[in-house]
Structures are given as structure tokens and as C-alpha cells.
Amino acid sequence: MSAPAHRRRALRVLVAGGGVAGLAAALALARAGHRVLLAERRGDTGALGAGIQLSPNATRCLAALGVLARLEAAAFRPRAAVLRDGRDGRIVYRAALGSAAEARWGAPYLHIHRGDLVAALAAAAGEAGVEIRTATAVAPPAAIPASGPLTLTLEEEGACEDREADLLVAADGLGSRLRPAIAGPAEPRFTGQTAWRACLPADRIAADSIAPEATVWAAPGRHLVSYYIRGGALLNLVAVEEATAWQGESWAEPGDPAALRAAFADFHPAVTAALDAVEKPLLWGLFERPAPPAWSRGAAVLIGDACHPMLPFMAQGAAMGIEDATVLARCLDAEAAIPAALTRFERLRRPRTTRVQAVSRANGRMFHRADGLARTASFAGIAAVSRLAPALAAGRLDWLYGHDATRG
């Protein structure tokens, strides 16, 4: 992507946050001809987290950014997406992925370790000329002008440095320090759900006990997601349980493996056997925030989880951040004035991210529905459509997986 003809100079862009959304934005903007500095407050952009599902709407963007080929060796291609009854293992819904996903939606469905995705994005960004500075935080500005460049302070090892930027991209995640300055305060709301995350070598479970699929094991008040990463060498598990209280918003608290096993003790033997092999799960509370009244102020814009955090029940958090990065670069190409480009960005992105957030919430309610006629009827209806009209069932995801953020 070359620099747009209407702009006589490259923009000086500061990206705050070295996660998936921040790195994707830095790469997309550097490829568009802008001078990009990315500041990540941790000591590296690295291996935090575990598995990520990359649906075709995300891998299409990664292909356009030249990153998809870098992921092939580390990725895993699930053969299907499956919803099972968590206790007896009965299949409620099954949608073919693999070659069927690529044929229908024009891009692959992949599972990847977050560290592998971040490493690929960081390498590509560095090659594109992005300056990446770790252990460096962007201080929230006291005020953001309505137009013109921003003067921002970088905090690094006790020292401060002022940096002028034409554009600030706030991709600093759920606990964004920059969101209040751009969109005003927003108190997080605990959803009443906590989640464990664990990753274990696949050879620690019985062969073929967990199928090579993206599987949701659902039961009243709880569900567990299982899928493979790193070419099938690792099994990623995410287990969600309804809870009454949570102390903070951290997503990396040490969890008690005995409590995890107790919470899912009545699940299918394949699940309980996998949980028996978990040694050090991480535990986090699931929080929501109200939508920001505006995504940008002057020449500063929110993207990814800093803007529209997703509950994990559609596996779209990373995908929405990658789409944001792609569309932001396109909007800056389309509009000469930065505020106009950011207004265009929000107009294109807000309806889609709002819909994904709503469907994610609905999925959580459906997974956890209590025993009774409503659950039986709901699961029976899903099973019938999946069995009798698989193309119709797959088509219900066309709006999501078939979306092309690189165009339009």
C-alpha cells in the first residue's frame, strides 16, 4: 500500500500498546507510508496469553498485511466448530471448517498461540520501519486539542520524553490509560462470570480424546472451550463459570487447579481427564464497559479492546482489533483531514463491533442456559438445523466470517 496522493508528507503516528490490535495498526499504517512509533508498557510485546481463534475475517486482513504466511507453521487448522453438551458429550451443532471454511469465506480458520501471532506481527512491523519501544508507556495527556498535532509524554525507566505526533492510536487494551482522555471515564461492570485459561502439551491427554475441533462444551452456568494450537502440540482450554463476586479486572491471576476441576467435575470424561493434567491455570473476571460516546477526539483514536472490549463467547476479540487496524489505515487514505478520517473510521466500525458484542453476550446466555424445557428446545432446534441444513447453519455466520475489512 503506497502513501496516498493527497497527503504531501507521512504522518507521525504514535501507537500505544503492543498487543494484537496495536501491532496490526502499526504495521498497516507503516505499510501505508506513515512514520510509526509503537510504545508497549511491558518489557516485551511477547508471549502473554495462550490460544487465539483467527476466523476468516481476521486471516483475510492478515493476508493483506503479508503476515498470514508467517503463521502457517505455528497455526492449527481445526476441522470443525462444534457445540456439545458438556456433561454427556452429545453434539448439538457442528459446522465444517478446514477447506470448507476457506471455500465458503475465502480465507482460512486458524488457531494460533497469541505469542506466535504477536511475534509475527512485530517482525513484519519492524521490517516495515516501525520503531518498537518496550517498557515504555504513553502518559495520558491532560487535554487533546480539537485539531492539529499532539504533544505526548513517553515514560521509560523513570525518564520522560516528549514526542509530537500527528495521530495517536490508543490500543492499550481493557485497562486503557488513554481511554478517559479520549472518550471520558467508563466504569467496568462485572458480568458475573469468571474464566480459567490453561494450555498443556497434547501428549498429556489420551490420543483422540479431544477432537481436532474448536469445541464448546456447554452446561448450565458453565462452559468450556477446547482447541489445539502450535500445529496440534498444545491443547488450549478456556473454562467459564458464573460467579457472584470478583475483586479486580486482572486476566492473569493464578488459579487453583483443584477449584477448576471441582467446578467441571460432572463434565464429559474427556474434559475432566484434560483438566486433571492442568497444573497452573490463570483466572480472570469478565467485565464489560459502556460504549464510548465517541471513539476519537481530535487526532487521537481508540481501537481494539481499549474501545470495544469483547466477551470471549464469539472468539472475536483479536479479530475485531485486526479489522480495526485495517479499516483505520484505509480511512486515513480516504480523507485528507485526520479528524474526518477518524469520524469515518467510527462510522464504519461501530455498527459491526456493536453487533459482535451483542451476539457474544447472547452466546454466553445460550451456553449457560439452565436445565429445563427452554434449554432442551433451544438445543434441539440448533441440532436440527445443523443436521438437516448444514449450509443454512454455516450461512448464519456469513455476516461475520465473510466480511472483508480490506475493501469498501
- Active site members: 227
HSE-up (13 A, CA, CB side) for residue 348: 25
Q: What is the end-to-end Cα distance of the chain in Å, rounded? A: 15
Closest CA to 322 of 283, 288, 356: 356
- Return d(Cα 379, Cα 310) in angstroms, integer: 24
HSE-up (13 A, CA, CB side) for residue 144: 22
- Return d(Cα 107, Cα 60) in angstroms, integer: 6
CB 403 within 8 A of CB 352: yes
Find where cell 461475520 sits: 400
Fill in the DSSP letter of residue 219. Answer: E
Q: How many CB atoms lie within 10 A of CB 142?
A: 7
- Return d(Cα 278, Cα 204) in angstroms, integer: 9
CB 111 within 8 A of CB 214: yes
